[in-house]
Amino acid sequence: MFGKVLIANRGEIALRVHRACQEMGIRTVAVHSTADATAMHVRLADESVCIGPPNARESYLNTAAILSAATITGADAVHPGYGFLSENARFAEMVEAHGLKFIGPSPDHIRMMGDKIAAKDAMRRLDVPLVPGSPGALESLEEARAVADQIKYPVLIKAAAGGGGRGMKVARSADELEDAWRVARAEAKAAFGDDSVYMEKYLDRPRHIELQVLADTHGNVVHFGERDCSLQRRHQKLVEEAGSPVLTAADREAMGARVTGALAKLGYRNAGTLEFLWQDGQFAFIEMNTRLQVEHPVTEMVCGIDLVKEQIRIAAGEPLGYGQGDIRFAGHAIECRITAEDPETFAPSPGRVNTYHAPGGLGVRVDSALYSGYTVPPHYDSLVAKLVVHAPTRPEAIGRMRRALSEMVVAGIRTTLPLHQAVMDDPEFQSGEYTIHWLERFVAERQ
């Protein structure tokens, strides 16, 4: 097992990884920008190294500084968390070239899944069902028109390098196609430096359901069931549940078997998530994330495992030591992503947190790097806390989340706590009958 792990991230996820290492008896190295010198992940780690100024390009994305920090401190492995360098194949290669272990998949698989066109192509060959769309990249507006006529409007133009909901535009009819084509490409070029786009049928009332998988380096692949992440704003998740209110155990087993079979053929290793849209009882693959996801705690709560510890064990070459039949699903878990934003306008609200009080009690988990007196810097993602609850049934989990939200205090900055309270109080949310478009309308009606 590793003696020391460098955590190439910040915020709650850096803390999350630190906690797993600590319990495994592994020493940790935190890296931080000058803006994060007093951050909780730096305070708790065994060692810390400043890697640059606040701008993430010069710090958390600065591969040379991070690799130097790993070398100087004598780390054996690097955990990238999510975001930043976690899906950068080149970084994974450089980590390995420095004689360190990258706690994640192989660079080739990161590269393949980072190109959504290549990812869909791979899944097609592995018999995983896809959202209908263009067979590959769209070379011209004429080709886009031809594909749209064939799959029928509405259609979605998506960036091959997409992420974070950027570079995605809907065309509801032929008149809207040229604009969608132009805007999606311009956004993709600006955000990812790559304007390759493809087309998908725009599903009108799907749910976003994803499957968590783990694969070791000995050919064992298992899944940990699904997460329902349909509550989204601007294609970004706000609330996640495990399991999905609409999926049966038989659906889960069938899709799980198909996905683990596909990843075994691919020779995939470490953690991964396959994202699907689910409509009329059908799964359709949209993308695969080759990293730990923000919403991984809901899976941990219902399966009783620690996904980060599993990632570390796998990277160290250990076999899983259990099979699919050993994995049990107990109860229901919900996660609310609490961000430093105005709960109605979503304007960023960084600044000093005068008072922080975390809720507690049975089945309540808070993953957060906040503390009283901490100043949320304006430079990074606005996520400040993940509030997760676990209970025997979905109605009990909702009751527990309402109670936990009412106890939580983050004073001094605005947060989305009131929005989460309103969602949990809503009868439609409580019924479980929602699609990926539900929250957008709910937010609009509150404004």
In 3D, which of 200, 225, 221 has the Cα closest to residue 210?
225
Pick between residue 115 and residue 396 the one whose CB is nearest to ligand ADP: 115
Kindly state the smallest distance separating residue 202's Cβ from ligand ADP, in Å: 4
Choosing from 269, 291, 337, 400, the catalytic residue is 291
Cβ-contact 100, 70 below 8 angstroms: yes
DSSP 141-156: HHHHHHHHHHH-SSEE
Burial readout 114-128 (b: 16 or more C-beta within 10 A, e: otherwise): bbbbebbebbeebeb
Q: Are strands 77-79 and 4-7 parallel, antiparallel or unpaired?
A: parallel
Rounded Cα distance, 248 and 253, in Å: 9
β-bridge mates for residue 102, sequence order: 78
In 3D, which of 139, 189, 174, 161 has the Cα closest to residue 287?
161
DSSP 328-358: ---SEEEEEEEESB-TTT--B--EE-SEEE-
Kindly state the smallest distance separating residue 378's Cβ from ligand ADP, in Å: 23
Pick between residue 52 and residue 81 the one whose CB is nearest to ligand ADP: 81
Pick between residue 283 and residue 356 the one whose CB is nearest to ligand ADP: 283
Kindly state the smallest distance separating residue 260's Cβ from ligand ADP, in Å: 21
Pick between residue 51 and residue 85 the one whose CB is nearest to ligand ADP: 85
Residues that bind ligand ADP (CB under 6 A): 131, 156, 162-165, 200-203, 206, 208, 232, 235, 275, 277, 286-287, 436
Kindly state the smallest distance separating residue 200's Cβ from ligand ADP, in Å: 4
Rounded Cα distance, 69 and 63, in Å: 10
291 in catalytic set: yes
Pick between residue 131 and residue 334 the one whose CB is nearest to ligand ADP: 131
User: Radius of gyration (Cα) for the chain, nearest Å?
Assistant: 21
Kindly state the smallest distance separating residue 156's Cβ from ligand ADP, in Å: 5
Determine if the peptide bond prior to 243 is cis (ω within 30°). Answer: yes
Pick between residue 228 and residue 341 the one whose CB is nearest to ligand ADP: 228
Cβ-contact 166, 234 below 8 angstroms: no
Kindly state the smallest distance separating residue 323's Cβ from ligand ADP, in Å: 30
β-bridge mates for residue 213, sequence order: 223, 272
DSSP 26-61: -EEEEEEEGGGTT-HHHHHSSEEEEEE-SSGGGTTT
Kindly state the smallest distance separating residue 243's Cβ from ligand ADP, in Å: 17
Which positions ≥6 away from 292 have C-beta within 8 Å?
Answer: 13, 81, 82, 86, 271, 307, 308, 311
Pick between residue 115 and residue 275 the one whose CB is nearest to ligand ADP: 275
Instruction: Give the residue numbers annotated as catalytic, written as ranges.
Output: 291
